[in-house]
Structure formats: structure tokens, C-alpha cells
Amino acid sequence: MNGVHLEIQLLAAVVAVACALPGVFLVLRRMALMSDAISHSILLGIVLGFFWVGDLGHPLLILAATATGVLTVALVELLHGTRRVKEDAAIALVFPALFSIAVILIAQRAGGVHLDVDAVLLGEIAFAPFRRFEWNGLDLGPRSLWVMGGILALNLLAIGLFYKELKLSTFDAGLAASLGFSPVLVHYGFMTLVSVTAVGAFDAVGSILVVALMIAPPAAAWLLTDRLPVMLALSGLIAAVSAIAGFHVAIAFDASIAGSMAGMTGVAFVGAFALAPERGLVAQWQRRARQRVEFAGLMLSIHLLNHEGGARAEVENRVEHLSEHLRWSPDFARRVVRRAERDGLVVREGRDRLLLTPLGREAARHGMVQAPPAR
């Protein structure tokens, strides 16, 4: 472990957290793929800005690239607004066009210059420590660490200041508008934040892997919690851990650091998808097995209640009938009945006739009331 490696890991973690925070709102607002569109088309802004000022480190480049990001959002909305193409197609039309122009321009004028196609896709996080930020001859660390740190701070500040507005316009746009927050203003303000973040991260991890950092950690966090503040914190944590783990995997296999970081966010998502305490696949499967019997017991009570005193009660309330009509295997029906008897919901009369107990009747009524009135 040397200083360069430490600096790369620090930068990776800062980039990942800075991406994950606005990513939370992108995922919740069902605009995840806007990150894909923005992260591609900012390349055009970088190229044009570079042709203009001739220096890749110039702050104007960040401005130009951010502007193209916001322009992408506006173009998608314009195209969709003509009602001639659907929104998904509008996204899929806008960014490839802008990205193509950028690639052609690079090939035309920037050949041999620092802007090469590999950098566009892979980012240059491995070289970041070699570009230092110096002030009065004093080495203050890698320049991109300052830039990304600034963007992270900006994200924290913006989300902190406008938390209420963002939250409200995400979950209830109508209410937000009626309270006087302009949804358009919030939307474009937020998209500017996404664009700035994408521009900063682009330098480190390239255009496509920005999408992984923005989407995968928030999606994983969403499977772990229902609360927005927790989701924000978890997203940041998952992103930082994935980034650092990705760095070590990449060093071990001598492979792309950025690609490996993206892969690790995927691993984190798959982990949450499979193992999340309540929503994971394993938990779903366990709950279903448990609920099947509980649910069946309730269904049995409701079934008996529905037929209580009816003309066909004699038939409907027989144990053997259950497997026939409720589509239960005889074995499962026996298990359900046994459990219902133990819970005191039903009693057996004679060999195989079932009667509801008062408790069972109560449970059945309650169960039906609980059934949701609206879809």
C-alpha cells in the first residue's frame, strides 16, 4: 500500500458517494436512465469546451459539460413533448446522437491529444494522483480529489438545503406544486446537480460506469429501508465500500479500476436483492412458506364463515371438500386444519365436519375487513 493507492481509493470513495446521493432521487423519481443519457452527452460539452479553451483542466469545461447535460434533459422533454415519440425512445434517440457527434469530433481534431476514446469509457482514476493541485509551490493533493470533494460538498449542501422540496416533489408532485414549489424549477435544479456530478465523475470512471455508481447503490439501499434519510446514508455507504473493494479487486487482477468498481456495485445490489432482511429473495421465500399456512388458515375461516348456515354448508365444510375446492393437496389441507384447530379457530364435529369457533368467526371477519378496499 503506497500513497498513490491511498489517494486513488480516497478519490474512488468520494466519487462513488457523490454519485450515489443524487442517484437516490433519480431512482425514486423513476428517472434512472436520465443518468445514462446525461453521462453520455456531457462528452460533447467537454469536447466543445476543450476546442474552445484548449485546456482540459479549465473550469469552463465543467460548465460547458454541465450545460450539455441539462440540454440533454431539455431535448428529451422537447422530443417527448411533440407526442410523436414515447419517452423511452426519446432518451434512446437524444444521447446516442450527441455522443456520436462528440466521438466524431474527437477523432477529427483531438487525435493524439489527451482526449482519447479509452478515457471516455474507462476514466482515468489510475492517473488522477499524478495531476497535482499546487498552490504557492505547496502540494495539496490530487486535483481531481479537490474537484470531486467540491462536488460532493455541493451535493450534500443542495440536498440538505432543499431536502423538503426534493422529497415532496419526488413523492407527491401535485402537492408540491400546490404548496408553491415549482416542479419544473426543482426538476431542472436537480438535473443540473446530476449533470455536475456526472461531469466530475466522468473524468474518473468514464461515461457508462457513472450510471452504475448512480443507480446500483441507491437501488440496493431501497431494498434495505423505507426511510429516505436512511436510504441516503446507506447508498453512500454501499457506494464507498463498493468503490474501495473494486479498487482492490482491480489491483489484484491488474484490470480496469472503474470497471471493477461498477462490478462491485453490482455485487452489492445482487447481495441486497438476494439477502435483504424483508425484501430479499430468501426472505420472500421464507415468508411465503410461513404465510402460506397462516393465509390458508384465515382462508379456511372465511370459507367456513361464508357457508355458515348456508344450504351447502354440509358439503362445503367437510375436510375432503377443502382439497377439492380450495385446490389444496389433501396433505396440505390436513396441515392447515390441524394448525387452525390448534389456534382455536375451528373445531371438528364428528369425523370430518368443521365448525368455526367464535374466535375463528372473529378472525374471518377481521381478515375480510383487512382486505384492502382499493387496489
Partner 1 sequence: MRPDPDGGAPPLAIEVNDLTVAYREQPVLWDVDVSFRQGALTAIVGPNGAGKTTLIRAILGLVPLAAGMVRILGRAPEDARTEVAYVPQRGSVDWDFPTSVLDLVLMGTYGRLGWFRRPGAAERDRAGEALEKVGMEAFAERQISQLSGGQQQRVFLARALVQDARIYLMDEPFQGVDARTETAIVEVLRELRARGNTVIVVHHALQTVAEYFDEVVLLNVRRIASGPVEEAFTDENLRLAYGGRVPFLRSAG
Partner 2 sequence: MELLHALFFDYTLRTVALGAGALGAVAGALGSFAVLRRQSLLGDAISHAALPGIVLAFMLTGSRATPVLVLGAALAGWVGTLFVLAIVRRSRIPEDAALGIVLSVFFGLGLVLLTFVQRSPTAAQAGLETFLFGQAATLLEQDVLLIAGVGSIALVALALGWKEFKLLSFDPDFGRSMGLPMTRIDVALTTLLVVAIVLGLQTVGVVLMSAMVVAPAAAARQWTDSLGLMVVLAGALGAGAGVAGTLVSSMGRGIPTGPTIVLAASIFVGVSLLVAPGRGLVAGRLRLRRVRQQVREGESEP
Q: Classify burial at 261, counting beta carbons within 10 Å of its beta carbon; exposed 0-12, middle 13-18, buried 19 or more.
A: buried
Query: x/- string (CB under 8 A) for partner 2, residues 282-301?
Result: --x-----------------
Of the candidate spans 15-23, 181-189, 232-240, 292-300, the one that interacts with partner 1 by CB under 8 A turns out to be 292-300
**Cβ at position 52, least distance to partner 2 in Å:** 21
Q: Which is nearer to partner 1, 144 or 301 (CB)?
A: 301
Stretch that binds partner 1, among 32-40, 61-69, 261-269, 294-302 (CB under 8 A): 294-302
Q: Decide if residue 103 touches partner 2 (CB under 8 A).
A: yes
**Rounded Cα–Cα distance for residues 222 and 276 (Å):** 10
Contacting partner 2 (CB under 8 A), which of 9, 35, 41, 169? Answer: 35
278 binds partner 2 (CB under 8 A): no
Partner in contact with 97, chosen from partner 2, partner 1, none, beta carbon below 5 to 8 Å by kind? partner 2
DSSP letters for 94-161: HHHHHHHHHHHHHHHH-TTSS--HHHHHH--TTTGGGSEEEETTEEEEEHHHHHHHHHHHHHHHHHHH
The string of DSSP letters for 168-182 reads HHHH-HHHHHHTT--
The distance of closest approach from Cβ of residue 325 to partner 1 in the complex, given in angstroms and rounded to an integer, is 5
Residue 306 interacts with partner 1 (CB under 8 A)?
yes
Q: Quick one: what does residue 85 bind among partner 2, partner 1, none, with the CB cut-off 5 to 8 Å set by partner type?
A: partner 2
Using DSSP's 3-state secondary structure scheme, residue 360 falls into helix
- The span from the CA of 82 to the CA of 324, in Å, is 56
Euclidean distance between CA atoms 140 and 153, whole angstroms:
18
Q: How far is the CB of 7 from partner 2 (least distance, A)?
A: 21
| Contact call for residues 67 and 42 (beta carbons, < 8 A) | no
What is the Cα–Cα distance from 332 to 340, expressed in whole angstroms?
A: 12
Query: Is residue 100 close enough to count as binding partner 2 by CB under 8 A?
Result: yes
Residues 199-238 within binding reach of partner 2 (CB under 8 A): 208-212, 214-216, 218-219, 222-223
Closest CA to 205 of 272, 152, 148: 148
Q: Are 221 and 24 in contact (CB under 8 A)?
A: yes
The amino acid that residue 55 corresponds to is D
Pairing, β 346-349 against β 132-135: unpaired
Cβ closer to partner 2: 265 or 301? Answer: 265
Place of cell 364435529: 349
Stretch that binds partner 2, among 34-42, 131-139, 311-319, 365-373 (CB under 8 A): 34-42
Tell me: does residue 30 bind partner 2 (CB under 8 A).
Answer: yes
Nearer of residues 84 and 351 to partner 2, judged by Cβ: 84
Binding site for partner 2 (CB under 8 A): 27, 30-33, 35-36, 40, 79, 82, 84-86, 88-89, 91-93, 96-97, 99-101, 103-104, 107-108, 111, 117-118, 121-122, 208-212, 214-216, 218-219, 222-223, 249-250, 253-256, 258-263, 265-266, 269, 273, 279, 281, 284
